[in-house]
């Protein structure tokens, strides 16, 4: 298995632009998590899905952030409009109910 | 919600010495406690985990202990090596399939 796949690996954009991050979980995993990592705040959960349904989005910072999981093999995290304070590494992770959470390689987002 | 505190934030040891990282948690419903290692620029990777029905677990040079009454758990690394240098995160969750609440991380430096 290729593991959790994320794209792009790096994204540089200007303030106000829309950003879309993508994630493909490990096949057979029915939980998918989006985390954000910054030096100041550490690893923060943004949202997670079970069987493609959002379970907890209380970590989504504000309405500029949205996430979808249209099927079991794909999820997106969208920021519109982006702001410099959104600069961070965004990780996607997946798991089954009784297994380890496996992290993807992350997307390093820089908003200028 | 769950609050996970991790100490120390930085730790420097000489090669061959032991390193101990401690975490406390607030939610008595938590019963799954993984530890992740994150090397610079890489994804967090699970190194060991423990569930609440076990007090201690060991894997070669790494061990984790759990005290559910006191709500704290610790990571012990013996005979440290330079390649152990990384940031270590503890986490707590009601189950391995649920979102993880991470500590802020401990930056471990092992000097030759």
- Render each residue's pLDDT in chain A as its tens digit; 112 residues: 689 999 999 999 999 999 999 999 999 999 999 999 999 889 999 999 999 999 989 899 889 999 999 999 999 999 999 999 999 999 999 998 766 899 999 999 999 9
From the list B49, B101, B103, the residue facing A100 with the nearest CB is B49
Using the predicted structure, report yes or no on whether residue B97 has a pLDDT greater than 70.
no
Please tell me the distance in Å from B100's CA to the nearest CA on chain A. 8
Whether B75 and B48 have beta carbons less than 8 Å apart is answered as yes
More confident residue, B3 or B75: B75
* Residue A100 pLDDT: 83
Q: What per-residue string of b and e applies to A46-61 under the rule 16 or more CB within 10 Å gives b? A: bbbbeeeeeebeebbe
* Residue A1 pLDDT: 60
A99: chain B residues, CB-CB within 8 Å:
96-97
Model confidence over B72-85: pLDDT tens digits?
999 999 999 999 99
From the list A42, A45, A91, the residue facing B99 with the nearest CB is A45
From the list B34, B45, B89, the residue facing A43 with the nearest CB is B89
* Residue B12 pLDDT: 98
Count of A-B CB contacts under 8 Å: 50
Average pLDDT of the residues of chain B = 93
């Amino acid at each position: 298995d290729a593991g959790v796949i994320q794209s792009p690996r790096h994204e540089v954009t200007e303030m106000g632009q829309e950003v879309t991050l993508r994630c493909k979980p490990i096949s057979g995993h029915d939980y998918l998590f989006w985390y954000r990592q910054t030096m100041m705040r550490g690893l923060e959960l943004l949202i997670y899905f079970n069987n493609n349904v959002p379970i907890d989005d209380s970590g989504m910072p504000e309405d500029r952030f949205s996430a979808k999981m249209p099927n079991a093999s794909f999820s997106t995290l969208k920021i519109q409009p982006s702001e410099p304070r959104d600069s961070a590494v965004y990780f996607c992770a997946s798991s089954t109910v009784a297994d380890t959470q496996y992290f993807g390689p992350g997307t390093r987002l820089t908003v200028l | 919600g769950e609050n996970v505190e991790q100490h120390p934030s930085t730790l420097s040891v000489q090669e061959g010495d032991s390193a101990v990282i401690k975490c406390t948690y607030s939610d008595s419903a938590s019963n799954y406690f993984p530890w992740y290692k994150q090397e610079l620029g890489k994804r967090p990777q699970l190194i060991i985990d423990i569930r609440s029905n076990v007090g201690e677990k060991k894997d070669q040079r790494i061990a984790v202990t759990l005290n559910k009454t006191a709500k704290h758990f610790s990571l012990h690394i013996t005979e440290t090596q330079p390649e152990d240098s990384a940031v270590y995160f503890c986490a707590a969750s009601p189950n391995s399939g649920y979102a993880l609440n991470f500590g802020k991380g401990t930056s471990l430096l092992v000097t030759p």
